[in-house]
């Protein structure tokens, strides 16, 4: 990279700077807009924050009340955990393993002494 190249790039950037400077808003206008925006933003923002906080608290209380009312004591003995991979443990005819087999009794003819 030569110094001439740098100078050429510098010239291009300086032309851009001149254009931007010509289009720049006045400082007073920028400051006035900034202050107006800050004034406008502060009150509604505080009000919105207060309303939001109140809504969250109310929703929390309502949810807690609802859950407390709906809460049904659970008998842990009746609970059976079922995981998404339970089907992998399923065996064909597994019912047979859980029931007591029923043996058929066959009446044999009595022998006479």
For 97, residues 6+ apart whose C-beta sits below 8 A from its C-beta are 91
Instruction: Give first-to-last CA distance, the chain, whole Å.
Output: 125
For 91, residues 6+ apart whose C-beta sits below 8 A from its C-beta are 97
Nearer to another protein (CB atom), residue 33 or residue 61: 33
Kindly list the residues in this chain that would bind another protein in the complex (CB under 8 A): 1, 5-6, 9-10, 12-17, 19-21, 23-25, 27, 30-31, 33-35, 37-38
Smallest separation, CB 76 to another protein (Å): 43
Nearer to another protein (CB atom), residue 21 or residue 81: 21
Nearer to another protein (CB atom), residue 31 or residue 50: 31
Smallest separation, CB 90 to another protein (Å): 43
CA atoms of 78 and 75, how far apart (whole Å): 6
């Amino acid at each position: 990279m030569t110094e001439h190249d740098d100078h050429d790039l510098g010239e291009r950037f300086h032309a851009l700077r001149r254009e931007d400077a010509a289009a720049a808003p006045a400082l007073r206008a920028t400051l006035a807009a900034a202050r107006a925006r800050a004034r406008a933003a502060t009150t509604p923002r505080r009000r919105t924050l207060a309303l939001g906080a109140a809504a969250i608290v109310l929703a929390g209380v309502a949810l807690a009340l609802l859950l407390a009312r709906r809460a049904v004591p659970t008998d842990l003995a009746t609970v059976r955990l079922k995981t998404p991979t339970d089907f992998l443990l399923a065996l064909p005819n597994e019912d047979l393993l859980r029931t007591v087999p029923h043996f058929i009794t066959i009446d044999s003819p009595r022998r006479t002494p």
